[in-house]
Amino acid sequence: MKELIKQLTEAYGPSGSEQKVREIIQDQVIPYCDHVEIDPLGSLHAVRKGTGSGGQRVMLAAHMDEIGLMVSHIDKNGFGRFTRLGGVHAQTLVGNRVVFTNGAIGVINVEKWPRAGEVDNSLRQLYLDFGVSRLEDVPIKVGDAAAFQRPFVDLGDSLLAKSLDDRVGCAILIETLRQLKQTPHEVHFVFTVQEEVGIRGATTAAYKVHPDIAIAIDVTESGDVPERKHYDVKMGNGPAIKMMDVGMVAHPGLRQWMMETATANNIPYQPEILTLGSTDARAMQLTHEGSAAGAISIPCRHVHTPSEMVSYSDVVNSVNLLVAMLSGPAKLG
C-alpha cells in the first residue's frame, strides 16, 4: 500500500482541481466494484453491491483534495500574490515551492526577509517568485491554483508527504475495497472533492447516496508533539474512533460497533475528541433525514503543512477495522 500512498500524495490536486487524483483512484477501483460513477461536482463513487439480505446502505468517504493556493494578483515585475485554498497557515509557507496545473513552479517568500516569527497570517506579506522579471514572462495567470511540491518519504513505520490529508484516507478506502471479499451491505466508496473549502463534495454525494450509515476516513491531529497538551490521540496507537468534533457528534451505536469490532479482532484503537475542525461526516450526518454517522481518523503530525506525517501501522489497522465491520451485519444497538 505504500506505493499507492506515494502515487496519491505526489499527485496534483488542490480543492477544485482533483482530476489527476481521481484518475489514479478510478484505475485502482474499477476491478473491485460493481459500478463506478463521477457525480456532477466531481466526486468518484465506487459501489460494491451486497449479497444476501439484511444489509444497510453504507457510505464511506475520503476526500481527494489537498490544501493549496490560488493566484489573486500579478504585479508588473512578475511577482504573484495569492489566497488560500483551505486551511493554509502563512507561518508554514516561506521557502516552500508550489506547482501549478501546467507544471509551472513558484517559490514563496516574504517581504523584508528575514522576518522569522513575524509572518502575518493574513498572507499580505507573502509573494510568489517565478524567476522572471517581466509580467509578460509569468507562466501562470490570476485564478490558477497551486499545490505544494513535496516528495513522499518512507521512514519505515512513519510516512511523510505533502497531502496525507486526505490521500491516506483514499488509500485506505481503495485497500478496503480490494480486501473486502463479501459483504451484506451496499457499500458506496466515495472519494469526495472540495472538503478543504467546506465539505462540498460530501454534501452533494451524500444527497445522492442517501446512506443509512456514513463513515468518513480522514486524518486528525496527533498529540505526541512538543507543547500539545490534553489531547490523547497519538501516532502509532491505532486508528482513532471519533466521539465528536466541532461539526458533529458521532452516532453512539456506530462508534460502539467500531470499538467492539476492534476489540474482537485485536485491532488497537483510541477515542478521539477533536476541538478544532470536522470531516465529511458532518455533511453525511445531515443529508435527507440524517444518517448514523461517524469517522475513523488517522493520527497525523504537522496537519495542514507541506510535510504531514502518519504511522503506517495506523493505516493498516484502519483497513483491518473497516474490512471486519463490513464483512458482517451492522450493529448499531
pLDDT digits (tens, 9 = 90+) for 10-43: 999 999 999 999 999 999 999 999 999 999 999 9
Domains of the chain, by residue range, sit at: 2-66+162-326, 68-148
Pair 60, 205: CB distance under 8 Å: no
Catalytic site residues?
195
Average pLDDT estimate for 186-196: 97
Rounded to an integer, the average pLDDT of 118-139 is: 86
Q: Would you say residue 121 has pLDDT above 70?
A: no
Q: What is the C-alpha to C-alpha distance for residues 85 and 87, in angstroms, rounded to an integer?
A: 7
Q: Is a pLDDT exceeding 70 seen at residue 148?
A: yes
Residue 166: cis peptide before it, omega within 30 degrees of 0 = yes
Q: Report whether CATH 2.140.10.10 matches the domain 68-148.
A: no
Question: Taking 80 as the threshold, does the pLDDT of residue 287 lie above it?
Answer: yes
**CATH class of the domain whose range is 2-66+162-326:** alpha beta
Q: How far is CA 318 from CA 44, 107, 144, in A?
A: 21, 36, 35
Radius of gyration of the CA atoms of the chain, in A: 20
First to last CA, the chain: 34
φ and ψ at 222, to 5 degrees?
-105, 135
CA distances from 137 to 111, 128, 153, 235, 299 (A): 22, 14, 34, 45, 43
Which grid cell sits at 111?
517581504
Select the highest-mean-pLDDT range: 45-54, 165-174, 227-236.
165-174
User: CA angle 212-214-217, nearest 5°?
Assistant: 165
Determine contact, residues 223/234, Cβ cutoff 8 Å.
yes
Positive or negative torsion for Cα 86, 311, 4, 50: negative
Copy the grid coordinates of residue 202: 460530501
Residue range 135-145: mean pLDDT, rounded = 95
**Closest alpha carbon to 251 in 198, 299, 211:** 211
Q: Which three cell numbers stand for residue 326?
A: 463490513
Which has more confidence, 91 or 46? 46
pTM score, whole prediction: 0.95
Number of H helices and number of E strands within the chain?
7, 17
Three-class SS state of 326: helix
Which residue's C-alpha cell is 467492539?
260
